[in-house]
Chain A
Amino acid sequence: MSDWPLWEVFVRAKGGLSHRHVGSVHAPDREMALNHARDTYTRRLEGVSLWVVKSSDIVASDPDQSGPTFEPAADKVYRHPTFYEIPDEVKHI
């Protein structure tokens, strides 16, 4: 007695917004995953577009490696606009 594979569900709440992860469903295939996502996660007008991705197809970063993965970005302050000093008199920049 089996259960179906797991799919991750992403919903675009309205035009102009990105799809956002809302949860998961079990489904035997792509079409059914979409049907199940619709019936589970958009019952209250929550969305205008749906994505489903097989959970096993998602590649995630390793939290144990979060040091090497994310910390090198911490000292690249020159990537941020506030790093640069512009005299107050200069506008529109």
Chain B
Amino acid sequence: MRIIGDDRYLISAFAKRLGHCFLAMLLLISVLSLSACSRPRSRFETGVLRVNLGTEPPGLDWHTATDSTSFDVVSNLMVGLTQYTNKLTCAPSCAKSWEILDGGRRYVFHLRDDLRWTDGKPVTAYDFEYAWKRLLNPVTAAQYAFFLYDVVNAREYNTGKLKSADTLGIKAVDDHTFEVRLRKPAAYFIYLTAFCVSFPMRKDVVENWGDRWTEPEHFVTNGPFKLTKWQHEYKMELAANESYFDRVPQVKLIKMFMVPEASTAFALYENDELDFIDNRSFATPDVERYRNSPEYKNFPLLRANYLAFNVTKKPFTDVRIRKAVAMAIDRSIFPRILRRGERPATSWIPPALPGYSPDSGTKFDPAAARALLAEAGYPGGKGLPKAELLYPNRDDVRLTVEATQDQLKRNLGMEIELVNQEWKVYLATVRKDAPPMFRNSWGADFPDPETFMNLFTKDCGNNDTKWSDPRYDALIEAAQGELNAAKRADLYRQADVMLCREAVPIVPTFLATQNIMIKPWVTGIAINPLDLQFFKDVVVSDTEANQREIR
């Protein structure tokens, strides 16, 4: 159809109008560009650190928080009785000293007398007593209350069997003395006093403001920084706490952005809008691109990945087949496909912890694996039923299970069917009735082998393999109460051998790493294997040394 009338006039009029609009937009963009170019933006601000949290912390109440984002913030706002050093030991913090009495059943902490909350009030042993009792109060519904289950009557009180908190083994003797009684010796207990869940809390603040007590206008803390601003889902600002008992931090302000998309965060870093980024802001290609940059660093974490069997499901009811699988997987494949410097692992205890031995696990030996499989009645994998391997729906996990599938096919002739599920569906499936094989991971809560080894005891709620052995449970229980460090490490090592070489309910695969980039004007960022980030010693300035690097 041709349009009737003098449509050319129409077109030109329309086009002209539109043309004007575009011209105006063009002009706007050029003005914008000019104004942006004419203002040279400084690459950083002295004393201000800009980092990416990735997501909104689900909550800053350290009794109900359970995730690393919240703990990253809380670790900079609060300090407990002790604090972790980057060498994974516990150093004095609020407690200047402590005594371990009654064969490890009683701890007495002596508090410093110069401790202050951000509102100027002194931090006392009563704040610890209140906090620990609140954590265990069933009404608080704290997910991590079980960390204190070693305290006398803690489990009973938390589960409602005991109504009164007075029977708990927690007591402020006076302002500066805090006493804890345990139901059995627990050598790892001291680490819990540096963990967020055991930090002190102010009764008056919590009770006054209810659910809103962690908002900046009410929040009272005792650590190196204080919360001054919280724009939910967007940004937090932490200012140096002038009344902090230790050294007041040199960084005056930390801006913690919540940029969920890694590529955006990385672009912000490249554009000097962030000073420090970690895994949350890194895509693998970026790691590749910056691997040789002086700004890039890589640290192993206490987060272990493993392949687990449901030992009640065929064919993995036979230990020989489980062992064959463990021997048929070449762990060095994982860093090659994930490319973030992952550390291959054959033992369940990571190298950084006592009890680790490189010989605890099985070595890669396809010939021996095939022999074991033949012994079990499946020479060359013939007659083996196709086994299901369940994994959560994530790209990096998919890569690792595909590599596993390939290795088992090639080295054993074993057919594996990969099944993926959305994260929460996956968790529900594994807990209810785990398939023959599933992929899982575990991050340490405190720097002690107990956090890893306890996982496969009979009563542990996270043991989805259905495997248990009274000898293993006895070893773990003995290790928990052993106060001699060398003997204790040996007990854990024996348990590790049982887990990774003898019974093989799991096949450890690799340890995850933390990849970070730091701008040359930032010094003093400490990364520890627990993946907690402490910013109290950070300096952001254009010192001469820094200037040289910046140029």
Genuine A/B complex: no
